[in-house]
Amino acid sequence: MHVAFIVLLIGILLAAVVWFAALGVLQHRRTRMLARKAHELDLRFSDQDPFDVPRRYADFAIVGCGHSPRAHNVTYGRLDGLVVRAFDFRYEIGHGTRRAARHYNVVVMEADAALPSILMWNDADVEYAPIALRQGQGRVACWRVLGAESLAAQLGYACNAQADYGISMQTIDRALMLCVPASRESRAYSPLLALAPAALKSMARPGSPHQDADA
């Protein structure tokens, strides 16, 4: 019985070693893929956080949803002439045996002027919605909304391609933040980088999204 227990324990330890090694390989491949994509877009890349993201974006809801926030795999530079930063973001919820990590793909793009204040959280990620939206405020399609619903409708229309991936959006001052829960299906933050310029422009464009589509 004692020998069987030791054999089982060794097997578990070996499985853990293999799992962590495989995870490390996958993370390394992902980092290389993000670096290559950044180069293709004429952007810079760092596997660390050169901007102290948790402090710089502390006012955004996602940064305040938990504790021990951290960013890595940061792509940065200018896209369509505007400052952009994309990164993998994680924070923790709970403590002790109930501690768990949440992972998101995030893009922040800065406009030339202040933007209307809007917070939109996707129903697909409602379990982890900011407290201010837990009870629901306004609604636009699959998002709970704080802010002008007419502008939220335009932003939601611009971001509709990522709606099924759980995209949420928020503006503070001149910055627009797009985020999706990290998963294989979300394909890192590359789709958010492609989406950000149009999403930002949608907030400066008058009229309804349907009017724009028909124009």
pLDDT tens digits, 144-154: 999 888 999 99
Closest CA to 76 of 104, 103, 53, 102: 53
pLDDT at 5 exceeding the cut of 80: no
pLDDT at 65 exceeding the cut of 90: no
Start-end of H helices in the chain: 2-40, 53-56, 131-134, 149-158, 190-202, 209-214
pLDDT at 57 exceeding the cut of 70: yes
What pTM, to 2 d.p., does this model score?
A: 0.81
Give the mean pLDDT of 70-78.
95
Question: Cα–Cα distance between 50 and 199 in angstroms, integer?
Answer: 25
Which of the residue ranges 2-16, 103-117, 179-193, 197-211 has the most confident prediction, judged by mean pLDDT? 103-117
pLDDT tens, residue by residue, 87-106: 999 999 887 777 888 999 99
> Is the distance from CB of 125 to CB of 133 less than 8 angstroms?
no
34 pLDDT band, cuts 50/70/90, is confident
CB atoms closer than 10 angstroms to residue 134: 12
Closest CA to 165 of 140, 189, 145, 136: 189
> Is the distance from CB of 105 to CB of 191 less than 8 angstroms?
no
Question: Cα–Cα distance between 152 and 193 in angstroms, integer?
Answer: 20
Closest CA to 116 of 143, 147, 95: 147
15 pLDDT band, cuts 50/70/90, is low
In this predicted structure, what is the pLDDT of residue 20? 45
Q: Specify which residues 138 forms β-bridges with.
A: 145
